[in-house]
Structure 1
Amino acid sequence: MSLILILIAVIAFIVVATTKFKLHPFLALLLSAFIAAFAYGLPSSDITKIIASGFGGILGYIGLVIVLGTIIGIILEKSGAAITMADWVIKVLGERFPTLTMTIIGYIVSIPVFCDSGFVILNSLRESLATRMKTSGVAMSVALAAGLYATHTFIPPTPGPIAAAGNLGLESNLGLVILVGAFVAAGAALAGTLWANRFKNVQPDVLSEQDEHKVDQSWKELKASYGTLPTASQAFAPIFVPILLICFSSIAKFPSHPLGDGTLFDILVFLGQPITALLIGLLLSLRLLKSDDKIKEFGERISHGITVAAPILLITGAGGAFGAVLKATPLGDYLGATLSGLGIGIFMPFIVAAALKSAQGSSTVALVTTSALVAPMLAQLGLDSEMGRVLTVMAIGAGAMTVSHANDSFFWVVSQFSRMSVGLAYRAQTMSTLIQGITGITLVYILSLFLL
């Protein structure tokens, strides 16, 4: 019992430190690693070695993937590729189902671009379509946020899911994480869309004077500000070519070797390694650079990407250190056996992630911390298989979106840009994330019945 009490106290420290005292999650996780190490009685001479090896171990491979993915996202964001993606989706789907179209746009854009940035970029498009299709701006906001949020929490190369996969030993099999994540994210996004439809007749309650012409013009002005937009192939290639390479590699490595085991197998496995695949994506993104001095522009994008990735890398490394400490304690055996007796299995990672997300607001922190926490007890939970680990990432992702409220920056981006009061945002956006999270874990549980 004392083992669980210590764990609860450490988690409480993380929540209080990051919410009340505004301590950076990196430092909160690192301090938690030391606190847990001393509380569980690990030899003092080994503590720093365990923490350092845990920090370096997770970043030794997955760190490069996070950096490359972030740089690609920055280039796509700055080049107007997200605008091209949105226009392409509208052209393909038309304007018959406005909320569904908005969700699909968000679903695609948020794979390379952070959900906060994606909403800001697409906000004027959302307003334009809402006016043109005579649909409430509130419904369109919730639908867009649902699509953005789903891929943000479930599908690599978004940093949160990548870090969780790394903590659970899946860094060499991200293709399977992407395939399963795409399915679960689609279900969660659709659930958010259906909830958004409840607000089709609800107008923003923090109104400003805007007419249709002005809204349409704002989207046109935004597009014009990017200059010549990239073509659809240029916009989609840097993110979907790496994803396809990673998925083909995973298929090639199936025990049945469906693509053979000769030269083609070796090529696909090499090209489908996440670092190689994302490096190819980065090279493809060079076509999106616009300035006359492309070398200088590329350098600026890399610098920006590294700046954005740095805190994510630190949080991921600290999460790895925290996880390494927990692995060195008897907590995994004890907690795993206890939870197995309760029969909650795949729901345990979801519950922990949801508690952390709701308490401190960051989906990435919830993904990293929970994955580090549950890694030592996968065997006891019956999840210590390749598919078990993948579904654990999905369960954590579902928890990491449950729920977005006032302590989450995404909540404020959605509510402020949509001109929703806090009360309306809670009813529309926060409830949407709750429904998405519950839908996500329900799908994961169903999958576990067939795949485990």
Structure 2
Amino acid sequence: MNTIATQSDPIMLLSTGFAMIMLLMVLIIAVRIHALIALIIVSLVTALLTGIAPANVLDVMLEGFGSTLAAVALLVGLGGMLGKILEVSGGADVLAQRMIAFCGLRRAPLALGITSLLFGFPIFFDAGLIVMMPILLSVARRLKQSTLLTVLPAAGAFAVMHAFVPPHPGPVAAADLLGADIGLLLLIGGAIALPTWFIGSYLYGMYAGKQWFLSLPAWFTDDKRSDDEDHATPAFSTVLAVLVLPFGLICFDTVVNTLQVAGLLGSESDTWAMVRIIGKTPVALLLTLLLAFVLLRSQFSRKDYETLCNDALGPLCAVILVTGAGGMFGGVLRAAGIGDAFAQMLMDTGLPVIVAAFVMSVCLRIAQGSATVALTTTAALMAPVVSSVSGLSPVDICCIVIAIAGGATVLSHFNDSGFWLVSRLLEMDEKTTLKTWTVMETLLGSTAFVLALAVSLVF
């Protein structure tokens, strides 16, 4: 959308944008208003203060909201349903047990971390950690070591997948706002997520597990369920097929597109376009979901599938709507000209775009806690900057998305729900949580930024 606001003084625009971001933080942190409501209020106030005609205000807000939902809603919804079905079927336990059997009990933290990386592709951080927690604690009990030794590598795995890899809402929304290719982002995000997890989560988890001993939480030791209780679970090959298929289909689309651009495939564009449809992210997730329905039909009835899908979509509504509201705020910033003014300011300072994106995301993350809000707001502010800088390759844009996600990961503290989830599940005091979880999140975000910067410089 072109700038349609009447206010044109760059200083006034930047001051207004800064004031509105501060207002957003105050509403979320101090007033404790839900992020969705806060984003709507701030979007409306920003539109009016920057001179957007009252008759156009609602159209501008809805266009930003709708365009973001169009990119995010299907992916989040289909991914959430797929994750729910794998969760209830016992897929996480199957993966964990197979990986432990393959790696051995002494390497259980590594096995559980890799399992969480795989399982974290379709399922969100909170849900994945809650599902895996009994398995992680059971292994910690068998090892007779600190629970941090098994929990931190797994929690870090879910965190990096949630932050850097589609179809999770944060990277998908940022990719849409910045114009990044989803398939390429999946490849680069996945490639960066692996060493990021190994350095910032697994290696640090090994250190923290020896440095601080945490005993099993009371809620787990009071649970009367047997670890050996027999449940009907899917075969390992079934779970692996469901996890690998969407990744393979999306990568297929990216590879075909690359070969076409390089002139290595024929010129029958319509034929290849038809073939590439299966690799488009919504279609790939839909096909994977249908495959899961077929492969797991012995465990679930048709009514069960309907119930599971409904159960999965309920909690996702807040995520989808907040993400859409972040896109709404971004649309207002663009229409008001604030993004263009910010782009010009960055160009004048000479600060590299990827560095500016990371720093801004860090500031928003520390101030208001929500990684999703930090990610979408930063991407919205950086969109005009990215579009105005010549010479940025598709790889560069994907690296900027990773840098923003890295900034939105660091320094998880008291205003982040993930901080309290880990603290309460492990019955860990706040000081220890800061020394373990917060440090690990900071290592993850910083490592991802350094790797993204290196990839951008090399390619």
Which residue is 1:228 aligned to?
232
1:138 aligns with 2:148: yes
> Structure 2: how far apart are the matches of 1:124 and 1:184?
28
Query: Tell me, what secondary structure is at the counterpart of 1:219?
Result: coil
> Structure 2: how far apart are the matches of 1:360 and 1:132?
39
Deviation at 1:283, TM superposition (A): 0.1
Deviation at 1:108, TM superposition (A): 1.7
Deviation at 1:209, TM superposition (A): 7.2
1:200 aligns with 2:209: yes
Deviation at 1:449, TM superposition (A): 0.4
Instruction: Label 1:303 to 1:201 Cα distance change in 2 as closer, same or farther (>3 A).
Output: same
How many percent of aligned residue pairs carry the same amino acid? 30
Give the letter for the 1:273 counterpart: K
1:14 aligns with 2:17: no
1:336 aligns with 2:350: no
Which residue is 2:6 aligned to?
none
Which residue is 1:164 aligned to?
174
What is the RMSD computed on CA atoms of the aligned residues?
Answer: 2.6
Deviation at 1:68, TM superposition (A): 1.1
User: Pick from 180, 183, 189: which aligns with 1:181?
Assistant: 189
Q: Is the 8 A contact 2:147 2:215 kept in 1?
A: no
Instruction: Label 1:140 to 1:206 Cα distance change in 2 as closer, same or farther (>3 A).
Output: closer
Give the letter for the 1:312 counterpart: V
1:323 aligns with 2:330: yes
User: Pick from 377, 394, 410: which aligns with 2:418?
Assistant: 410
Give the letter for the 1:197 counterpart: M
> Structure 2: how far apart are the matches of 1:424 and 1:141?
14
Instruction: Label 1:383 to 1:74 Cα distance change in 2 as closer, same or farther (>3 A).
Output: farther
Which range moved further: 29-38 or 274-283? 29-38
Which residue is 1:441 aligned to?
449
> Structure 2: how far apart are the matches of 1:428 and 1:117?
21
Instruction: Label 1:260 to 1:424 Cα distance change in 2 as closer, same or farther (>3 A).
Output: farther
> Structure 2: how far apart are the matches of 1:383 and 1:286?
45
User: Pick from 252, 259, 262: which aligns with 1:256?
Assistant: 262
Q: Is the 8 A contact 1:363 1:400 kept in 2?
A: yes
Q: Is the 8 A contact 1:85 1:232 kept in 2?
A: yes
Deviation at 1:46, TM superposition (A): 1.5
> Structure 2: how far apart are the matches of 1:89 and 1:308?
30
Instruction: Label 1:219 to 1:393 Cα distance change in 2 as closer, same or farther (>3 A).
Output: farther
Instruction: Label 1:257 to 1:132 Cα distance change in 2 as closer, same or farther (>3 A).
Output: farther
Instruction: Label 1:419 to 1:218 Cα distance change in 2 as closer, same or farther (>3 A).
Output: farther
1:54 aligns with 2:64: yes
User: Pick from 88, 95, 114: which aligns with 1:104?
Assistant: 114
1:33 aligns with 2:43: yes
1:367 aligns with 2:375: yes
Cα deviation 1:52-84 (Å, max 9, x = unaligned): 111112223432222111111111112111212
1:311 aligns with 2:321: no
> Structure 1: how far apart are the matches of 2:432 and 2:281?
41
Which residue is 1:119 aligned to?
129
Which residue is 2:249 aligned to?
245
Instruction: Label 1:264 to 1:45 Cα distance change in 2 as closer, same or farther (>3 A).
Output: closer
Deviation at 1:287, TM superposition (A): 3.5
Which structure 1 residue ranges, 5 or more long, are not aligned? none
Instruction: Label 1:282 to 1:16 Cα distance change in 2 as closer, same or farther (>3 A).
Output: same
Give the letter for the 2:210 counterpart: N
> Structure 1: how far apart are the matches of 2:275 and 2:149?
43
Q: Is the 8 A contact 2:79 2:123 kept in 1?
A: no
Query: Tell me, what secondary structure is at the counterpart of 1:346?
Result: helix
Instruction: Label 1:207 to 1:178 Cα distance change in 2 as closer, same or farther (>3 A).
Output: closer
Instruction: Label 1:382 to 1:216 Cα distance change in 2 as closer, same or farther (>3 A).
Output: farther
Instruction: Label 1:259 to 1:240 Cα distance change in 2 as closer, same or farther (>3 A).
Output: farther
Instruction: Label 1:368 to 1:210 Cα distance change in 2 as closer, same or farther (>3 A).
Output: closer
Give the letter for the 1:182 counterpart: G
Cα deviation 1:80-104 (Å, max 9, x = unaligned): 1121222232233333434332322
> Structure 2: how far apart are the matches of 1:89 and 1:128?
15
Give the letter for the 1:413 counterpart: L
Which structure 2 residue ranges, 5 or more long, are not aligned? 1-10
Deviation at 1:384, TM superposition (A): 5.0
Which residue is 1:358 aligned to?
366
Deviation at 1:322, TM superposition (A): 1.3
Q: Is the 8 A contact 1:156 1:174 kept in 2?
A: yes
Cα deviation 1:92-120 (Å, max 9, x = unaligned): 33334343323222222221122122222
Instruction: Label 1:265 to 1:320 Cα distance change in 2 as closer, same or farther (>3 A).
Output: same
Instruction: Label 1:342 to 1:244 Cα distance change in 2 as closer, same or farther (>3 A).
Output: same
> Structure 2: how far apart are the matches of 1:245 and 1:145?
27
Instruction: Label 1:236 to 1:366 Cα distance change in 2 as closer, same or farther (>3 A).
Output: farther
Cα deviation 1:425-445 (Å, max 9, x = unaligned): 110111111111110100011
> Structure 2: how far apart are the matches of 1:126 and 1:24?
32
TM-score by length of 2: 0.89
Deviation at 1:261, TM superposition (A): 4.8
User: Pick from 68, 72, 80: which aligns with 2:78?
Assistant: 68
Give the letter for the 2:287 counterpart: I
Matched residue count? 444
Q: Is the 8 A contact 2:71 2:172 kept in 1?
A: no
Which residue is 2:164 aligned to?
154
